[in-house]
Structure 1
Amino acid sequence: MNAPSRILIYGVHGSGKSTLAETLAQRLGLPWYPVDDLLWEPGWVEVPVPVQRDRIEAICRRDRWILDGSYHGWRDVPLARADLVIGLDYPRGLSFRRLWRRTMRRLSTGEEICNGNRESLGSVLSWDSVLRWHLTGYARERARMRAWHADPAGPPVLLFDTPEALESWLAGLPR
């Protein structure tokens, strides 16, 4: 496979999409566009889906990019342009533990995320909690990755079911 220049990273919340995107951006010299920064304004105001789609379309028209997620309303856009999709198809327990640790760290440190927002105890306990999203979306996201992988009409999809398998693949990339 030639070095990909348009990469979509996909997985459930907490699987490590952003961490992988940052690593690949450094290794491959590709620009990384953190999806959450495109979807959330300060104060946890969600950008309207048509505006999200416009933003994603503008990025995907470029020749080089990494996106660390893909959501409703515009999932088709990066999928149609990607040279490679990387699916982080980790077991539920692993990704949920990672998400839990990340969420607890952010709560304790007040770390700013996506345009100056911060996770709070209220957001973690809310109906729209990222923890709840993980629990309710896990099977659906996993099935979607596997369907993409099985579809010969789509872009190539690499599925990694363990962090070790991903690390082994990364070890073969240029440094």
Structure 2
Amino acid sequence: MKLHIVGASGSGVTTLGKALGEALGVRYFDSDEYFWVVSEPPFTKRRPAYARNAALSQELSQQPRWILGGSLVGWGDQWLTAFDLVIFLWLPPALRLSRLQQREQERYGSKIATEPARAAQYHAFLAWAAGYDDNSSGGHRTLANHNSWLTQVTCPVLELRGDLSVEQRLQLVGHKLIELGWH
């Protein structure tokens, strides 16, 4: 079983991925760990595409079952055939952005207000995230790109749209896995 969870930043990809991994006893991988080089401040240095793809492919090849969260749009066509099920998450933009603001405050606290560079990064991130649904964020992670990518993957796609709890999402994924013959 090779599952991929994708959605906008703040849609709950990591939360569902970790919960699903725990429920199924399967390792969860996050694409951000391969896309970004560990840095301070975080999420400022991108890893070269060849390096991130090689590292992710290597890690996944060592596991018979896994869950991968994050957007792979623009990472190459090899990912279109890599999964047994793709789970797409969508939340209303206002709710998603509120969750992102709260998450960033929890992560970085007063640094957002007291460090000019961190404040600029925070505001740029929120502006980028706000552009997901209307496709104005630039780059690959937009609703239009995700919708297009979902039509290209060769496996079933489960779309979970709306403000569902983690428990509701787990239940819906569980039903889909049973439907597909995975217990």
Same fold (TM over 0.5): yes
1:49 matched to 2:45: no
Structure 2: distance between partners of 1:155 and 1:77 = 13
Q: Give runs of aligned pairs for residues 22-171 of structure 1, distance below 5 A.
A: 22-43=18-39, 44-61=44-61, 62-74=63-75, 76-108=77-109, 122-126=117-121, 129-140=124-135, 141-149=142-150, 151=151, 154-164=154-164, 167-171=167-171
Is the 2:28–2:66 contact (alpha carbons within 8 Å) kept by the matching residues of 1? yes
Structure 1: distance between partners of 2:121 and 2:165 = 34
Runs of 4+ in 1 over 6 A off after TM superposition: none
Offset from partner CA, 1:52-72 (integer Å, 9 cap, x none)? 111222244343221111245
Q: For the structure 1 residues 93 and 128, does the alpha-carbon distance in structure 2 shift closer, same or farther, using more than 3 Å as the test?
A: closer
Is the 2:90–2:161 contact (alpha carbons within 8 Å) kept by the matching residues of 1? yes
Shift of 1:145: 3.6
Matching residue of 2:139: none
Greater shift after overlay, 91-100 or 128-137?
128-137
Structure 2: distance between partners of 1:83 and 1:156 = 7
Shift of 1:39: 2.2
> One-letter code of the match for 2:99?
R
Q: For the structure 1 residues 99 and 89, does the alpha-carbon distance in structure 2 shift closer, same or farther, using more than 3 Å as the test?
A: same
> One-letter code of the match for 1:90?
L
Is the 1:21–1:32 contact (alpha carbons within 8 Å) kept by the matching residues of 2? yes
Offset from partner CA, 1:130-160 (integer Å, 9 cap, x none)? 21221233344322343355x3862111111
Identity of aligned pairs, percent? Answer: 27
Aligned pair count reads: 160
Offset from partner CA, 1:34-55 (integer Å, 9 cap, x none)? 2222222232432112101112
Structure 1: distance between partners of 2:94 and 2:123 = 20
Greater shift after overlay, 39-48 or 98-107?
39-48
Offset from partner CA, 1:89-128 (integer Å, 9 cap, x none)? 1111111111111011112187xxxxxxxxx662442398
> One-letter code of the match for 2:133?
Y
